[in-house]
């Protein structure tokens, strides 16, 4: 029987999100795996993966907000919007504003200017994804068309940024393909669909210069933090996490005859009040020993089954 549950992975930079799932297939002897929220090839950090029937719950995880840190390089922009891509434009004067006499402003002024514009990026904003990304254009990834030199347009998407702040300055990064005149480390809490590379580009353009990013790292998805994650090379069967430890829906313990009703896809009468139910009404239904077997929707007086989550036979 294939188990069902989540695995919290710490992806290494240089691995694709797809490759990061290989250890799950080996450890749990199944091909039924998936993940919530793709990370860029060069990015690192938290991936919430799932095996078995828990893969049905991945959209609920992916919808959660996310926290990233990244390094912003001001002074040049690349085709990939990463620090080591092909330079497409360089700020030869290396300044974000022109004072009288075209003299460069001080590093302190650069920092102050960046802080001044950060509030403009808080809330709901429209963002154009990078040309090198997984967004589908005419049935193919945008990155595939970009590599083939095809001319295409990336349409803006509405995203939400909850918070954005500077957490460090003047970091040294090896392998920069252009010349940067200022470097900042930032932390961003944002919605699904946010591209950190695009955010770095847009921050720089708002300053009147060009920019790209490095060292993207995802620290949190919803209430799941990177500290709970394991490297793929260290993964064991003990790292399987029950679904109710990742999605914080109320857990209702039901007797076996009630579970049989849910298993058949029928609604189950439920007269007791349920605390902690969100606006969608989702609850987990579990055996009396706490083993979660289904995701259901609660409404006063009854429970409707949505997904059965028991182990695969």
Instruction: Quick: pLDDT tens for 162-192.
Output: 999 999 999 999 999 999 999 999 999 999 9
Q: Identify whether 40 is a catalytic site residue.
A: yes
pLDDT of residue 103: 47
Percent of the chain exceeding pLDDT 90 equals: 77
pTM, two decimal places = 0.90
Question: Rounded to an integer, what distance in angstroms lies between the CA atom of residue 34 and that of residue 51?
Answer: 7
Per-residue pLDDT for 225 more than 80? yes
Q: Give the DSSP letter of residue 107.
A: H
Within 10 A of 261 (CB to CB), how many other CB atoms are there?
Answer: 15
Q: Which of 138-142, 150-154, 258-262 has the highest mean pLDDT?
A: 258-262
Q: Look at 46-55, 60-69, 141-150 and tell me which has the smallest mean pLDDT.
A: 141-150
Question: Rounded to an integer, what distance in angstroms lies between the CA atom of residue 294 and that of residue 313?
Answer: 15
Distances (CA, A) of 291 to 3, 70, 98: 12, 39, 64
Question: Rounded to an integer, what distance in angstroms lies between the CA atom of residue 160 and that of residue 143?
Answer: 24
Please name each of the domains of the chain with its CATH number.
5-64+223-245 (3.30.2350.10), 66-221 (3.30.2350.10), 251-308 (2.30.130.10)
Q: What is the mean pLDDT of the chain?
A: 90
Per-residue pLDDT for 106 more than 50? no
pLDDT of residue 130: 87
Question: Rounded to an integer, what distance in angstroms lies between the CA atom of residue 75 and that of residue 183?
Answer: 9
pLDDT of residue 50: 96
**Catalytic-labelled residue, pool 15, 40, 91, 244:** 40
Question: Rounded to an integer, what distance in angstroms lies between the CA atom of residue 128 and that of residue 236?
Answer: 39
Alpha helices of 16-158 — where are they, by DSSP H? Answer: 22-28, 58-62, 107-117, 142-147
């Amino acid at each position: 029987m294939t188990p069902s549950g989540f695995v919290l992975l710490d992806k290494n930079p240089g691995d694709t999100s797809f490759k990061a799932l290989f250890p799950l297939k080996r450890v749990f002897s199944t091909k039924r795996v998936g993940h919530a929220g793709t990370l860029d090839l060069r990015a690192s950090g938290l991936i919430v993966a799932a095996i078995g029937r828990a893969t049905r719950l991945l959209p609920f995880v992916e919808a959660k907000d996310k926290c990233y840190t990244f390094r912003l390089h001001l002074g040049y922009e690349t085709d990939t919007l990463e620090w080591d891509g092909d330079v497409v434009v360089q700020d030869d004067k290396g300044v974000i504003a022109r004072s009288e006499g075209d003299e460069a402003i001080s590093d302190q002024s650069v920092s102050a200017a960046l802080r001044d514009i950060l509030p403009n990026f808080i809330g709901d904003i429209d963002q154009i994804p990078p040309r090198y990304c997984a967004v589908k254009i005419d049935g193919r990834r945008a990155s595939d068309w970009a590599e083939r030199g095809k001319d295409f347009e990336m349409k803006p998407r509405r995203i939400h940024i909850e918070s954005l702040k500077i957490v460090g300055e003047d970091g040294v990064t090896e392998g920069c393909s252009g010349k940067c005149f200022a470097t900042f480390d930032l932390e961003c809490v944002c919605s699904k669909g946010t591209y950190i590379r695009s955010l770095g580009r847009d921050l720089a353009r708002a300053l009147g210069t060009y920019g790209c990013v490095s060292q993207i790292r995802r620290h949190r998805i919803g209430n799941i933090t990177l500290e709970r994650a394991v490297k793929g090379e260290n993964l064991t069967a003990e790292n399987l996490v029950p679904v109710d430890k990742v999605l914080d829906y109320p857990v209702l313990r039901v007797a076996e005859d009630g579970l049989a009703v849910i298993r058949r896809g029928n609604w189950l009468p439920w007269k007791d009040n349920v605390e902690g139910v969100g606006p969608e009404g989702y609850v987990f239904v579990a055996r009396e020993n706490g083993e979660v077997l289904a995701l259901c929707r609660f409404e006063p007086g009854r429970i409707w089954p949505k997904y059965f989550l028991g182990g695969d036979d």
